[in-house]
Amino acid sequence: TQTSIMTGTSRLNLPETRAVGNRGSGGGIVVGTYEGVDNMLRKGMKLNNIGTVVIDEVQTLEDPERGHRLDGLIARLKYVAPKAQFLYLSATIGSPHILAKKLHASLVPYAERPVALERHLIFTEKDAKVPYIKKLVFEEFNKVSSKGYKGQTIVFTNARNRCHSLAEAIGSMAAPYHAGLTLQERRQVEKKFEEGKLACVVTTAALAAGVDFPASQVIFDALAMGINWLSVQEFHQMMGRAGRPDYHDIGRVVILAEPGASYSRETKLTEEEVAIQLLKGRMEEVAPVYEIEEASEEFAANAVVARGNEKDIAGIGASMVGEGDDPLSEMMKHKLVRKNGTALELSPLGRVMAEHFIGMNRVLAIDHLVREMDEPLEIIAELAALDEEEAKERRRGEKNSVEKNGLARARELSSKKQEPPAWVAKRKEQNAAVKREHTKDRVERAGKRPVEREIIRETKAPRRATKEQEERIERKKREANQFIPAPKRRKSDEWDAVEAGIDARRAGKYDDALGILLAWVDNHPRDSRALTELGKVYDLRGSRDEAYSCYQRAAAADTQNREAIDRMNAYLIGITVDIDDEPASRIPTGIVKKKGT
């Protein structure tokens, strides 16, 4: 059976961009990108005798740029091949049973991973990341699996220039890999990696879904894509690149998080907070919502495939997973489509929307600029400026949404009553019982003793010093001040407040300790030592999430605070760390031990 390829092709006639293999839909097996296959449908071409359709990486339905196009493609293929079998594949999708129901498919789960995966979270400063990555890369490269393959690494970072700087720092055994390279350059990197001539490839998060390197280790230099934090789904997709069957015995993921770091001023989240959210987060249900731009583009494509039949157009739209408003009235208003009896006819601009994957607002903007400007480069520049404005507006809306959700979460947490753990409540009850017994015993003994008679003694008024005596006293004071040093001051109010909190904690007065330390931290939010001690109090009260938040803030305020960082790591891996009973200055830091060992 002949196999053909359907992908986008370059308009530049260069050796590295010329078509390879059989192009078109003539083969018995057609392998193509979503857009490559969809382009034929959008042009009105027919695809006959379709028996099976395999959709790989179906989680792309959630992608903000390509999701609506994949959704529309699936619906259109179902329309042109109603008897075909559809297989949807994904390793990273949330609530798969719900998506299966939306796609009218049967769910076949596969929970086991062929290669086990280790996950490591390391908090480090920015300057320490490069030497850390270099060390991890060559340690992995020196390992050989039972299948005879050396350990190789993919390093994910957030920018193309960072790809090059990291690759140069690692050395000749590393290479950058991103969309800015030519096709020929990317193919050379892929070949060297496959042949084991490279220990490491440094790539951007944007290529996570397309990178197909047999790597045993994945390192996250950054947890962002550009200036935007990764989603849980994107993060899991990138982690899944570590460890391949028939190559490796185990996969390894290393996350290097810089406490307090951020890639945008528009977010209040820091890198270590995002790391925890990604590790603990759950992938959300696939439930895209389309704006007028996406909905109008898919409507135009559906109109081409359905040959203008209004009922069939509506049917194709109804079979899509995503939801959105019906764009028909808006498209008719701008004369992109018109009714002709029972049929809907697209205008020339409407057909441009379908064939070139363009939404309504975009095509109207291009039409307006073409009428106003003669220079093509000026039109392109104006369109780029419009894109930038739209991106800023979208980020502003996302920021407001995040801040609103964060505020609601904070209010929810603050409204919850902090209940002490069971063992603390039991200890308090025991102490109260002992105190009651002691008080009762004192009262009984006092009742059996005779009351002592109160002795009232007459006190004499002190003698008043004479003027001469007062002068002599003042003179002696002045002379003494010349030789007696000033009294030593206490170290600081901070020492007194934090020490008072520690003393209260050690005495078992957790409520008092909490009140003292909270009052101090409210006025000194960057006091790393106070935040660490506050976290210990929360730990003893059983509020581990609040304790972790305090340790996190303490590490962000002082990246050298090893105790706070160790307690954060202990929280993540489920280890309980003993609370010290000695002053912090006498206890060696950097030691995490399991309770009871």
Q: Hey, what are 101's tokens? A: 């129901």
Q: Hey, what are 18's tokens? A: 């010329």
pLDDT band at 592 (very low <50, low <70, confident <90, very high): very low
pLDDT band at 241 (very low <50, low <70, confident <90, very high): confident
CA distance 74 to 56: 12
Give the CA count within 13 Å in the CB-facing half-sphere of 510.
18
User: Residue 460's pLDDT is what?
Assistant: 47
pLDDT tens-digit profile of 32-44?
888 888 988 998 8
Percent pLDDT > 90 in the chain is 28
pLDDT tens-digit profile of 370-395?
888 888 888 888 888 888 777 777 66
pLDDT tens-digit profile of 67-115?
999 999 999 999 999 999 999 998 888 888 899 999 999 999 887 788 8
Asked whether the predicted pLDDT for residue 597 surpasses 90, the reply is: no
CA distance 82 to 316: 12
All residues at 6 or more sequence positions from 68 whose CB lies less than 8 Å from its CB, including other chains: 288, 290, 294, 295, 297, 298, 322
pLDDT tens-digit profile of 125-140?
888 899 999 999 999 9
The amino acid at residue 159 is A
State the Rg of the chain over Cα: 35
All residues at 6 or more sequence positions from 120 whose CB lies less than 8 Å from its CB, including other chains: 252, 253, 254, 255
Asked whether the predicted pLDDT for residue 494 surpasses 60, the reply is: no
Asked whether the predicted pLDDT for residue 15 surpasses 70, the reply is: no
- Across 532-553, average pLDDT: 87
Asked whether the beta carbons of 304 and 354 are under 8 A apart, the reply is yes
Pairing between β-strand 224-225 and β-strand 228-229 as defined by DSSP bridges: antiparallel
pLDDT band at 47 (very low <50, low <70, confident <90, very high): confident
CA distance 594 to 43: 65
Helix axes 126-141, 160-170, angle to 10 degrees: 60
User: Residue 446's pLDDT is what?
Assistant: 61
Pairing between β-strand 200-204 and β-strand 174-177 as defined by DSSP bridges: parallel
Asked whether the predicted pLDDT for residue 18 surpasses 80, the reply is: no
User: Residue 473's pLDDT is what?
Assistant: 65
Pairing between β-strand 200-204 and β-strand 116-123 as defined by DSSP bridges: unpaired
Q: Hey, what are 123's tokens? A: 């908090």
Asked whether the beta carbons of 535 and 552 are under 8 A apart, the reply is no
Name the β-bridge partners of 274.
none
